[in-house]
Chains A and B, each alone.
With several copies, the nearest count.
Chain A
Amino acid sequence: MSDESSPPQEQVTETSTAKSAFPFRPGKAVVLFAVCMGMLIGIGFFTFGYGKGASYLSNNPQTCANCHVMQSHMDSWQQSSHHAVAVCNDCHLPHYFLGKWVTKADNGFFHSLAFTMGNFKDPIQIKPRNKRVTQNACIHCHQDLVHPLLPDVRGQDMLSCVHCHTSVGHAER
């Protein structure tokens, strides 16, 4: 388990500050506003918008499954080869500071929104941006091993790890 990448506890406090700084009022305009701001500094919105949003700040996988739509991913993670070595956040959050918090805000907001509105695909379909996050997570841990797979030259693309390792994070995927 990658302890160094787990969010330190004080971040939660930071969240409440953000919350009071951007009071959330329901209404179309605010939703729109939130969509924009959420990308950058929206850490506060989801905590407010959805009671259990704080689960994003924890590294405990169980808290992701607070949303029942996450249950099957939780189950399949538990059966995966990685359940002993990686939790949700190890794969679904960037492994560098800024990206991590942007992603938390972004996903946190959209999960809450989607969950509330119910207008998401079931089974859930991961979006390209989040695919890049998981890809980077693989590389973060397996850098040495997969060295020859990395781009040979600047700008070259590379294969997606889950093209072959489909069930690493989620069994039977």
Chain B
Amino acid sequence: NIFERQQEARTPFVKVVEVSEISTDPEPWGLNFPQQYEDYLRTVDDEYTDYGGNHALPPSKLKEHPWLKRLYAGYAFSIEYREARGHAYMLSDQEVSPRVTQVQQAGACLHCHAAIVPTYRRIGMEEAGEEVTEAALAESFDHDAVMAGFRAVSQHNYEDVLKELEKTPDGVVKAEAGDPHLGEAHPVSCIDCHDPETMAIRVTRPGFILGIDKLAKSDDPVPHLPSIQKWRDDGAQGDYDPNVHATRQELRSFVCGQCHVEYYCANKMTLTYPWGNGLKVEDLEKEWDETQFPEDADGNEGGSFYDYVHKETGTKVYKAQHPEFELWSQGIHARAGVSCSDCHMPYEKVGATKVSSHWVRSPMTNINKACQTCHHVAEQELKDRVSVIQDRTVQLIDRAADACVEMFDAIVAVQEAGATDEELEPIRDLQRKAMWRLDYISSENSKGFHARQEAARVLAESVDYARQAIAQCYRLEGKTEEEGS
């Protein structure tokens, strides 16, 4: 390999302090890498852009788009649903969210909102009967223990798992005799994306590791992820392990794909990323369609997968959450090898060196570095191009939302008129598809930018299904009235 020669050129960084596999507190890392740490801390103060960015109190999506309340009727998201903001907030925003305080949530929620991996490891080690000392916990990543811990706590109660976090040393808090509090809970931190020994980027999230392996084992063509194709070509031996097989450029997206993805996260089964059939909206849908919840403790059948019963209509539906990684996968940037980090963590020159901006944020607040290195056009022109894309998407979201809302009215009306479950079944199927697709694009956070044509296609399908459901209702109404008359 030609790059081997340069590798010698990289002088090992000078560690001011040691960090290890338990160092969830970013502070000591910050002593080694003050620039990255400083940037990271800035994730508390983003501006607000047209369709993204931050606020002191991020705006409520439910207020801005009242139809969302009807879409989520019967689900926690109808209580509160806000714009995302900087990484520094992820844990506190979750803790105070009425979705968590008013509804019993699962421990898996913390998978993406906290530096939880050492806690998984600790619990995994404990389950295996190993003695867990701070030193043992710090020694290595210990994949098996992490996976075991992940499986063990995902379905526990949120509050219990949050407490577990504080029972894991974080590398800074000094344990006091008799105090069960061994560390603080931290939002996403250096250790989630970096190997503490070498600083190489890596993925740590069990949900992602299992999901990407399922994807590799599927036959979905993934031209934007060449290492998966290579792994398949090499005979698909064992598991696809992103930390072994992925290119560095792929890892620059995978670290984000650990969390910015569609998931199932509640107490009926372990946290799941639905990538077994591929990364397109219908591949994910197919996986949910095929999923059966596992038997409960008493041996009762779990039944078909669903996220919630839509309150107005009584239909069992799916909830889509922030599928940024999946939508990006369908776009031209992914195809051209452009990673999340290229845009959201662009290089910046600091003194005599280049560093990745750890102020992860909307690229629209940083167009110069995020876009203009590749696109040599004026900043305003880039803004305008993004607006064209996002405005078209928003226009279609509104169109699909109108159709969905009319659909709810139509279904409610036929139900009141006495339609039978049998008659309603095909209509409910259409409803589920329509809602899934609308939610998919509206809860994706780039307003279509990550894959403009795909976003429009998905919304076109949503409109189609919603209006088909309406037509079927009217037809049923006609019949019912006829029969009734």
Binding site for B on A (CB under 8 A): 68-69, 72, 75-76, 79, 121-123, 125-126, 132, 135-136, 139, 143-159, 163-167, 172-173
* Cβ of A79 to closest chain B Cβ, rounded Å: 7
Q: Which residues of B contact A (CB under 8 A)?
A: 1-7, 9-11, 195, 198-201, 247-249, 337-338, 342, 347-349, 352-356, 368-369, 372-374, 376
Q: Are A172 and B368 in contact (CB under 8 A)?
A: no
B3 in complex: contacting residue of A144, A158, A165, CB < 8 Å: A158
The 3 closest A-B pairs by CB, nearest first: A150-B10, A152-B200, A151-B7
Most buried by A among B200, B249, B355, B376: B376
Residue from A125, A147, A159, A173 in contact with B353 in the complex, judged by beta carbons closer than 8 Å: A147
Evaluate contact between A145 and B354: CB separation under 8 angstroms. Answer: yes
Chain B residues with Cβ under 8 A from A166's Cβ? 374, 376
Which A residues touch B356, using CB under 8 A? 148
Neighbouring B residues of A149 by C-beta, 8 Å: 347, 354
Query: Which chain B positions have C-beta within 8 A of A143?
Result: 9
Tell which of B1, B10, B342, B349 touches A155, judged by Cβ atoms closer than 8 Å.
B1
* Bound Cα distance A164, B373 (Å): 6
Contact A156 B248 (CB under 8 A): yes
The distance in angstroms between the C-alpha atoms of A173 and B7, with both chains bound, is 18
Complex CA–CA separation, A127 to B4 (angstroms): 20
Please determine whether A147 and B248 come into contact, CB atoms closer than 8 angstroms: no
Q: Which residues of B contact A76 (CB under 8 A)?
A: 2, 5
A residues in contact with B249, CB < 8 Å:
157, 159, 163
- Contact across chains for A152 and B10 when beta carbons are under 8 A apart: yes
- Chain B residues with Cβ below 8 Å from A157 are 1, 3, 247-249
Please name all residues of chain B whose beta carbon is closer than 8 Å to the beta carbon of A150 when the two chains form the complex: 6-7, 9-10
Inter-chain contacts of B199 with A (CB < 8 A): 152
- Complex Cα distance A131/B156, Å? 52
User: Is B368 a contact partner of A123 (Cβ separation < 8 A)?
Assistant: yes
Residues of chain B contacted by A164 (CB below 8 angstroms): 342, 347, 373-374
Task: Say how far B369's CB is from chain A's closest CB, in angstroms.
Answer: 7
List 5 additional contacts besides A147-B353, A152-B10; criterion CB under 8 Å.
Answer: A139-B9, A143-B9, A145-B352, A149-B354, A152-B199
Q: Can you list 30 A-B pairs, Cβ within 8 angstroms, ordered by A?
A: A68-B349, A68-B352, A72-B5, A75-B5, A121-B368, A122-B369, A123-B368, A123-B369, A132-B2, A139-B9, A143-B9, A145-B354, A146-B354, A147-B10, A150-B6, A151-B10, A152-B10, A153-B198, A155-B7, A156-B7, A157-B3, A157-B247, A158-B3, A163-B249, A163-B337, A164-B373, A165-B373, A172-B1, A172-B2, A172-B376
